[in-house]
Amino acid sequence: MSKSSVTFNRWNSITKSTWSFQVFNKYNDELNDMTWAQTGASKSIYKNLGLFGAKWTDPASKYFEFDVPKGEEAFLDLQSWSNSFNNFHNWVNLNSLMAISSNLETYIATVVSLALESNPGILFDSPKSIDGVVLLKKGAKKSDFNQNIITSITKGDWNSRVNAYRKTFGDTTSVNNFKIGDLEKIRNLRNKVGHAFGRDIDGSRNHEVKEILTIESLSDAKLKKYQKLIWLTAKSIDVDLLNNHIGEFQAISFYHRLFESIRKDIHQSERAIILKKKLGGFGDTVGKEFCKGLVKYYEEI
């Protein structure tokens, strides 16, 4: 079926993912580009050093320029430089994991908020008994209770997060597929990077020592594994909430914001064309019939 003939259905989305998940992916793609650009540059550097016949005992300044006072060496030798460079690569991996882990939490907070606003009846064990569009049109204030739920699903260890998710949205397939053990490893490692330079947090707060702890190690392979796990976790949540609680609420919310600026003396079908063009500006190729149905639904509800 062509998109031009697809009709509007409040609870069935014509897209396979929420806008929130699409933004989540864009941030991850941007980070991937930066991370692997650095990885590629690293491989080329060592390849060129080999072509130059470099030795570990050579001065690092023989191959690199450093912004240090004239006559001083930034490193003892090339081996010393290489050790620091490899440590930097590990640091990049650790911070990349912290970034994508934070991105996951931001995504979950966003999509859970969206689901609760779309289907507020879920809070009373009565899903879809209240259409969030009605509250949206009436300008209802966002509930502090919603924020408490979002916090319970995005903070604390992953066992407590999953329990909070189950309590709100039920014992769904997406939750049962969570790899809680690995997600907990990611959370702990993320906290070490964010609070203790990638070291054990309790050990770093010991005031009776003068030496620093050994930094955690994160290989490229393990980073890729964790990246995939984080993506799969977000995807499973997205499928669950989009299909069961969100539907077309995002598109309706977009029209809600657009509605105030559209002339009311034109035909409803003309307002649908305006909506179609606006959505098309984001790359969403929705058809005229879909937009007409959405406009009619919103304006008559």
The structural domains of the chain, with segments of one domain joined by +, span 3-112+132-247
**pLDDT tens per residue, range 74-92:** 899 999 999 999 999 999 9
Residue with tokens 């500006």: 281
**Number of neighbouring beta carbons within 10 Å of residue 187:** 17
- Asked if 204 contacts 213 with a C-beta cutoff of 8 angstroms, the reply is yes
Residue with tokens 């929705």: 286
Averaged pLDDT, 58-70: 87
**pLDDT tens per residue, range 98-152:** 999 999 999 999 999 999 999 999 999 999 999 999 999 998 887 777 999 999 9
- Asked if 121 contacts 168 with a C-beta cutoff of 8 angstroms, the reply is no
pTM exceeding the 0.85 threshold for the entire prediction: yes
- Asked if 268 contacts 295 with a C-beta cutoff of 8 angstroms, the reply is yes
Token output for 169: 């949205």
Q: Which residues of 222-239 are buried (b: 16+ CB within 10 A; e: fewer)?
A: ebeebbebbbebbbbbbb
